[in-house]
Structure 1
Amino acid sequence: MKHSSHCPDCAGSIQRLPRNAGRAMIWIYRHTLSPLVGYDCRHLPTCSAYGDEAIERFGLWGGGWMTLARLLRCQPWGTSGIDNVPRTRPAGACWYLPWRFGRWRGVNAP
């Protein structure tokens, strides 16, 4: 039996490494800091659940920008209510225009 130096599963694992690292940071926050701070979120789903889903769906770069926009809206004068992660990539969003990933105003509005 020959052993191949190229492993198809390894390439996918390496590509998912940043995504999994981002999700791991959210997991650590959820299980360490979040219980100490308390569960008081203005949005549904919570910001950590939103970030986890955004990073899972769009990767660390795109999902990270979406999460940043969500965190900046989660403040006393910000938005509140149901705010789901978009199902598709926002129009015009690409790696060199990362701010287009985020929803900077409003809830579930383009």
Structure 2
Amino acid sequence: MLPRREAPLARLGWAILLLPRNLGVLLLIVYRAVVSPLYGDVCRYYPSCSAYALQAVQLHGLVLGSVLAARRLLRCHPWAAGGIDDVPTSIPLHRPASGRTRFAVTRAGFVVGPRKD
């Protein structure tokens, strides 16, 4: 455990490290609140494409999450069969050390520093 004086500095470091991921999360939250209701429920998959993108960015980060979201958008078209398509928890090139994410997600959807497991 970190000494008390270093704890705020460590939190600041994690906040800076997770800033790109959380900016992506913020953009997706705004999109889901403003644009998604205008289109209605048109996605052929569950979860919807925007929910999939949000989960992918939260779990895998901005770059890899964006790649997964783009692949999902390419699969979502009027001729797609649809169905349940969850975000993969592990990807061959990207494996968290313990097999699961080490970050926590707040109720608002933002990613915060390491969990205390």
Q: Which amino acid aligns with 2:47?
A: P
Is the 1:54–1:85 contact (alpha carbons within 8 Å) kept by the matching residues of 2?
A: yes
Give the letter aligned to residue 46 of structure 1.
S
Q: Does 1:69 align with 2:61?
A: no
The residue type paired with residue 56 of structure 2 is A
1:18 is matched with which residue? Answer: 20
Runs of 4 or more above 4 Å deviation: none
Secondary structure of residue in 2 paired with 1:7: helix
Tell me the residue number matched to 2:83.
Answer: 81
Aligned-pair identity (%): 39
Alpha-carbon displacement from aligned partner over 1:7-63 (angstroms, at most 9, x marks no partner): 111110011111111111111111111111112210001111111111011000000
CA 1:64–1:11: 2 relative to 1, 3 Å: same
Aligned to 2:93: 92
Q: In 2, are the aligned partners of 1:73 and 1:79 still within 8 Å (CA)?
A: no
Could you tell me which of 45, 48, 62 is aligned with 2:50? Answer: 48
- Unpaired runs of 5+ residues, structure 2, are 96-117
Change in CA separation of 1:67 and 1:60 when aligned onto 2, cut-off 3 Å: same
Higher fraction of strand: 2
Once superposed, what is the RMSD of the aligned Cα atoms?
A: 1.9
Residue matched to 1:7: 9
- Structure 1 distance, partners of 2:51, 2:42, is 13
Equivalent runs, 1:32-47 vs 2, <5 Å = 32-47=34-49
Aligned residue pair count: 90
Match of 1:86, SS state, is coil
* Higher fraction of helix: 1
TM-score normalised by structure 2 residue count: 0.70
If asked which structure has higher relative contact order (CA below 8 Å, sep 6+), I would say 2
